[in-house]
Structure 1
Amino acid sequence: MPESTPEHAPEHTLGASAVAPPGLDLERLRARLERALPGTVAGPLRAELIEGGRSNLSYRLTDGVTDWVLRRPPLGHVLATAHDMGREYRVMTALRDTGVPVPGTVHLDPGTEVLGAPWYLMAYVPGVVHRDAAAFAALGERRVRAIGEALVDTLAALHRVDPAAVGLADFGRPDGYLDRQLRRWSAQLDASRSRELPGIDRLHELLVARRPASPAPALVHGDYRLDNVLLQERGERERDGRDVIAAVLDWEMSTLGDPLTDVGLLVMYTELAGVGGGLIPSAATAAGFPRSAELVDRYAESTGRDAAELDWYVAFASYKLAVVAEGIHYRFRQGRTLGSGFERAGAMAPVLIEHGLTTLKGH
């Protein structure tokens, strides 16, 4: 969520030090991989934390020959169901032969004996993540627009996937999805409350009272936005189309449910881009990036779904992210976060609450 420059790393550039970042034990990790996947690891492992994530932790891992990315839950206060490694691994594995670009999955360890928490390994995908408006704008208006349109087209492709055809028919319970979501996020807020947050209970009450009827269910990403996709590096100035997206990342909240929740979140991030001194990435303010109405119209045309009630979904996205920000603030105060920018998460919650209330008033 905090501002950053484009993130990418060329092949095999990790430092020579074998000192593991917090949250990893490289010797235990290598031993586990040698048992589970003999011949996969060619030498001593090196690792570095990938900055930018504010929920599950991601590490770049290499043996000097092959690069991977390891994902594990945060080190501190963990909300129930919010950091399910098996869920991420399963949905990416299922989507690998669809039109939705995802990293290749390598190994899942649901136990806690190696790292003290479940974790999984996936292929390292070269690419760039854009959060900063100036760096994104440097691609040019035509390219920025093409990326914005590809973002919507990839989301539409996800929502067109037949869950049963990829082995995900039991991946969630679509019936009553919005009601359960409202209860779940309210419970997660209660688990992270450490201060007064004026307006957040009123926002929840209004969301409950005005909940719309959901459209036909689909696979839902749960946190779909520009800085959760890797963009192709090579030839990106010349090429257009959905292939500019190298991979969709961060599937921890994926499920079967109401697809308009993904659209509402994407719109919310677009509307609040750059707000709060970098609390929300500013990339979507770059000249050429489609505005909210354009994103919605393109999605509706591509999928045939009715987006008339989208204001509710934008307000719900604001509420959900306010709860996430408060959880990060809770962990930061405990000293249980890794990386920079966490100190600003607490200031983000009131901004999101206000945006949710304002959106519902407009509705």
Structure 2
Amino acid sequence: MGETGVANPPGLDLRRLGEYLEQARPGMLSGPLAGEVIAGGRSNLTYSVTDGGGRWVVRRPPLGHVLPTAHDMGREHRVVSALADTPVPVPRTVLLCQDTEVIGAPFYVMEYVEGVPYRSAEQLDALGPVRTGAIAASMIDTLVDLHAVDPASAGLADFGRPEGFLERQLRRWRKQLEASRSRELPGIDKLHERLGAEVPDSPEPTVVHGDYRLDNLLVDADDEITAVLDWEMSTLGDPLTDLALIITYSSAALAGSSMVSNAHTAEGYPDADEIIARYAERSGRDVSSLDWYVGLAFFKLAVILEGIHYRHSKGQTVGDDFDRIGDVVPYLVDGGLRYLDGA
């Protein structure tokens, strides 16, 4: 409990946060803070905090086991701040705190943006197929807008190392897998080996989001995207990795899983071919090698969920449904292999 009797959400000391904000931004707060975890995130922790008048969002790394190079609050804060004056809708950032003495981990604060993160088919079905199709089209168009941002003009020329990006992705996610490996995962090493044997040539590098999907977007009542969220895996690299991840999230390999959005099953949501065609037409990019990228996306998602499964097995997760997240990983491995086989 804080001094006001308000319960602290897991991983966030509201009294300490309030004291820090009063010092760093005098006059920002009009009273003690209350807060809660924003449901839906399964990696970095996201909180809504309020002083009774204003409202903000706080982001911090997960509790306990943190993978090397992951959950970098400084990078996430930097890219969100840099995109503020581009066509890509993002929340305005307030501040970044790298001092782990404040709440036990680095964190950053940003404005609270109104909007709905559509996660379920039921949510979209209530809107009808026309509005569902319009929202999905905006999702694709916003991704094209992101990939059209000139990194240098946005101050992100050194945000990543585009040369050899795909090879490094394979090495990185292999290392992440090893850092979380606690059980046998048949086929995952074969999937990695096959991807490494057929790496395509990348197009011109862009800012990539790294986890682009509908439920990482906020949508207002006019079906306009008000914010793109969860930038923890963003970098400079191959834009087709973002497109491939959208296709992977709508794969049959994840059908019926409560761990992943089923929004793509709503009437009016475009199928994979329609998504690819719209992106290709509006971006002008060659998508002929996209199958390989989808295979990589399956591998990446399998490693991410295995890391969450590992943290859950150690009692280091915050939220619901983590007890079943490990069951999804074998289906992702199988889906990646099937996709590389053209099945």
TM-score by length of 2: 0.97
- Verify the 8 A CA contact 1:273 1:283 in the aligned structure 2: no
Residues 170-209 of structure 1: matches in 2 within 5 Å? 170-209=158-197
- Verify the 8 A CA contact 1:132 1:283 in the aligned structure 2: yes
- Residue in 2 that maps onto 1:72: 60
Letter of the 1:98 counterpart = T
- Shift of the 17–341 alpha-carbon distance from structure 1 to 2, 3 Å rule, reads farther
Aligned partners of 2:295 and 2:178: how far apart in 1? 19
Aligned partners of 1:275 and 1:111: how far apart in 2? 42
- Residue in 1 that maps onto 2:283: 303
- Verify the 8 A CA contact 1:274 1:283 in the aligned structure 2: no
- Shift of the 17–248 alpha-carbon distance from structure 1 to 2, 3 Å rule, reads farther
Letter of the 1:65 counterpart = G
- Residue in 2 that maps onto 1:60: 48
- Number of residue equivalences: 340
- Verify the 8 A CA contact 1:276 1:348 in the aligned structure 2: no
**Can you give the 5+ residue segments of structure 2 that lack an aligned partner in the other structure?**
none
- Residue in 2 that maps onto 1:322: 302
Letter of the 2:329 counterpart = A
Aligned partners of 1:109 and 1:273: how far apart in 2? 39
Task: Report the alpha carbon displacement of residue 273 of structure 1 after superposing the two structures with TM.
Answer: 7.9
Task: Report the alpha carbon displacement of residue 82 of structure 1 after superposing the two structures with TM.
Answer: 1.2
Aligned partners of 2:289 and 2:99: how far apart in 1? 42
Aligned partners of 1:25 and 1:66: how far apart in 2? 18
Deviations 1:85-105 (A, max 9, x none): 111110011101110000110
- Verify the 8 A CA contact 1:274 1:285 in the aligned structure 2: no
- Residue in 1 that maps onto 2:243: 263
SS at match of 2:152: helix
- Residue in 2 that maps onto 1:139: 127
Deviates more, 1:207-216 or 1:270-279: 270-279
Deviations 1:137-166 (A, max 9, x none): 110100000011100000000000000001
- Residue in 1 that maps onto 2:257: 277
Letter of the 1:133 counterpart = A
- Verify the 8 A CA contact 1:108 1:120 in the aligned structure 2: yes
Paired residue for 1:115, among 72, 95, 103? 103
- Residue in 2 that maps onto 1:251: 231
Deviates more, 1:271-280 or 1:195-204: 271-280
**Can you give the 5+ residue segments of structure 1 that lack an aligned partner in the other structure?**
1-15, 237-243
Aligned partners of 2:32 and 2:272: how far apart in 1? 47
Aligned partners of 1:272 and 1:151: how far apart in 2? 20
Residues 84-99 of structure 1: matches in 2 within 5 Å? 84-99=72-87
Paired residue for 1:22, among 3, 6, 10? 10
- Residue in 2 that maps onto 1:350: 330
1:338 and 2:326 are equivalent in the alignment: no
Letter of the 1:115 counterpart = I
SS at match of 1:166: coil
Letter of the 1:124 counterpart = Y
Cα RMSD, aligned residues only: 1.2
SS at match of 2:46: strand
Task: Report the alpha carbon displacement of residue 278 of structure 1 after superposing the two structures with TM.
Answer: 2.1
SS at match of 1:362: coil
Deviations 1:118-143 (A, max 9, x none): 00000001111111112211101000
1:102 and 2:82 are equivalent in the alignment: no
- Residue in 2 that maps onto 1:44: 32
Aligned partners of 2:92 and 2:6: how far apart in 1? 25
- Verify the 8 A CA contact 2:94 2:108 in the aligned structure 1: yes
- Verify the 8 A CA contact 2:253 2:335 in the aligned structure 1: no
Letter of the 1:264 counterpart = A
Deviations 1:45-77 (A, max 9, x none): 000011110000000000001000000000011
TM-score by length of 1: 0.92
Q: Post-superposition, which runs of at least 4 consecutive aligned residues in structure 1 deviate over 4 A?
A: none
- Verify the 8 A CA contact 1:200 1:353 in the aligned structure 2: yes
Higher relative contact order, chain-length normalized (CA < 8 Å, sep 6+): 1
Letter of the 2:19 counterpart = A
Aligned partners of 1:17 and 1:50: how far apart in 2? 21
Task: Report the alpha carbon displacement of residue 17 of structure 1 after superposing the two structures with TM.
Answer: 5.6
Letter of the 1:292 counterpart = A
- Verify the 8 A CA contact 1:136 1:144 in the aligned structure 2: yes
1:362 and 2:342 are equivalent in the alignment: yes
Task: Report the alpha carbon displacement of residue 255 of structure 1 after superposing the two structures with TM.
Answer: 0.4
Identity percentage of aligned residues: 59
Paired residue for 2:204, among 189, 193, 216? 216
Task: Report the alpha carbon displacement of residue 276 of structure 1 after superposing the two structures with TM.
Answer: 3.7
